[in-house]
Structure 1
Amino acid sequence: MSKTIFKSEENKLTVTRIFDANLTLVWSAWTVPELLDQWWAPKPWKSETSYMNFVENGHRIYAMVGPKGERHIARTDYKTINPQETFSGEDSFCESDGTINTSMPIAKFKAEFVANSNSTVVILNSEYQSKEHLEQTLAMGMKEGLSMAFENLDEYIKQQFKLRSELKLNNNPRVTTYLNFPGNTEEAFNFYKSVFKTEFSGKGMQRFGDIPAEQGHPPVAEEIKKMILHVELPTLGGHVLMATDAPKEMGFTLNRGNNMHICLEPESREETQRLFDALSNDGNITMPLEDMFFGAYFGECSDKYGINWMFNFKNI
């Protein structure tokens, strides 16, 4: 069943989308140009952003490129932005220099983002100059483009935690270190492997391209197929390094300081809650501790000293 619901009335369209990921990732999917270009067009068309400044009174200019090289230039003007809550503006077609084409449909829109316990709801309200302009926009593939939104991120999250679950078959407590790289996990972990002289756990390096195709999910983008989805490497004394590539194409922004977590895997749900409450006290909760769709009681925070912690209790 589709997670996207369309409702139209005269010249207005409401699109509601339930996304199986946290609010931060979903917000990035709408506001990071590299990620927008992954889904902002019905296949076989694609989106190419030439300029984007996501600030109030800023704008985005992009091309909808067809399989035969057809190019339709479009523009989004951002009016109001409340980070991780709402943004509004106007969508229009334009000339290559950004001049709005007033003979084509123009939509005033507002996008709302609502965090649920283990998902995020996006509500997009659009209003056109007329019912005919709305119908024209729908005929150009708007539903198809929006329906494909976020599927790569959904699949990425689900498959990554599936792999982690397969590599840990019990709830014996352990502490690991979880690393994020912008696209060079393979290089880094081959280096660590040479230093510690150990072997990768399980099937070794699992790549984004290894994600099995499922009905309703588009194929993984070519530029990230060879990147690492998940890898584990034993080091010393039973300690394990884990990592994934977190590329900008998937909506991630990595900086030194947010690319490393101490990952706690307690033996019980109660101990997971206790540790989370204690470490997040006077700190910053970046992901509330909740039952997640990938089968774990999971959360993230940074403590009052700025150290990043990840909590993962597997629901067996």
Structure 2
Amino acid sequence: MNNSPFDFSLDRPTKTVTINMQFEAELSRVWDAFTKPEILDQWYAPKPFTSRTKNMNFEVGGQRFYAMVSPKGQERWALQTYTSINPKTNFKMFNAFADEAGNPEPTGSDWNLNFSEQNGITTVNISIYNESAERLEAVIDGFKAGMAMTFENLQKLLAGLSGK
């Protein structure tokens, strides 16, 4: 297993970002880390930011409304709407920034997350389609760096959960 938390690629013509990760953890632990708010809030933000879920209903049509909170308490809200769920193998969601009342911005991205396990190693493949090329270009550098820090948080959390 490589030490990098993830492989990241960008396909500009299709406006798609692909992230592939492997974790030394059981599938059920990794699935829970992506689908339970009390675990998401422990890792789903680049340091020094933290994640705070206001509400989450993990079912088709349900949503997670959460904020990335800066050390000074500034909040950047986002809304994830779940469009498909196949337990422990795949879920899809539409992700958009939002205001503090939960009103999403007009553009966002479609996320397709696939999970599999082999010999105690769980692989997560994420494909993120951005409907706006302009939005993609505006966020790509910060997104890549932020996701690297975020997935490092998850890697450390899972290592702690598994006792490694």
Q: Counterparts of 1:145-160 in structure 2 under 5 Å?
A: 145-159=150-164
Larger radius of gyration: 1
1:241-266 CA deviation, whole Å, 9 max, x = no partner? xxxxxxxxxxxxxxxxxxxxxxxxxx
Q: Counterparts of 1:114-193 in structure 2 under 5 Å?
A: 114-138=116-140, 139-140=142-143, 141-159=146-164
Say if 1:149 and 1:132 are closer, same or farther in 2 by CA, change over 3 A. Answer: farther
Runs of 4+ aligned residues of structure 1 deviating over 4 Å after TM superposition are none
| Number of positions where the alignment pairs a residue of Structure 1 with one of Structure 2 | 157
- Once the 2 structures are TM-superposed, how far is the Cα of residue 54 of structure 1 from its aligned partner? 0.1
Aligned equivalent of 1:44 = 48
Aligned equivalent of 1:28 = 32
More strand by percentage: 2
- Provide the TM-score with structure 1 as the length reference: 0.48
Any gaps of 5 or more consecutive residues in structure 2?
none
Q: Distance in 2 between matches of 1:143 and 1:12?
A: 17
- Provide the TM-score with structure 2 as the length reference: 0.89
Equivalent residue letter for 1:149: L
Q: Counterparts of 1:59-98 in structure 2 under 5 Å?
A: 59-98=63-102
- Once the 2 structures are TM-superposed, how far is the Cα of residue 151 of structure 1 from its aligned partner? 1.9
1:261-306 CA deviation, whole Å, 9 max, x = no partner? xxxxxxxxxxxxxxxxxxxxxxxxxxxxxxxxxxxxxxxxxxxxxx
**Is 1:5 equivalent to 2:7 in the alignment?**
yes
Say if 1:142 and 1:21 are closer, same or farther in 2 by CA, change over 3 A. Answer: closer
Q: Counterparts of 1:129-278 in structure 2 under 5 Å?
A: 129-138=131-140, 139-140=142-143, 141-159=146-164
- Cα RMSD (Å) of the superposition? 1.5
Quick one: higher RCO (CA 8 Å, sep 6+), 1 or 2?
2
- Once the 2 structures are TM-superposed, how far is the Cα of residue 130 of structure 1 from its aligned partner? 3.0
Identity %: 33
Any gaps of 5 or more consecutive residues in structure 1?
160-316
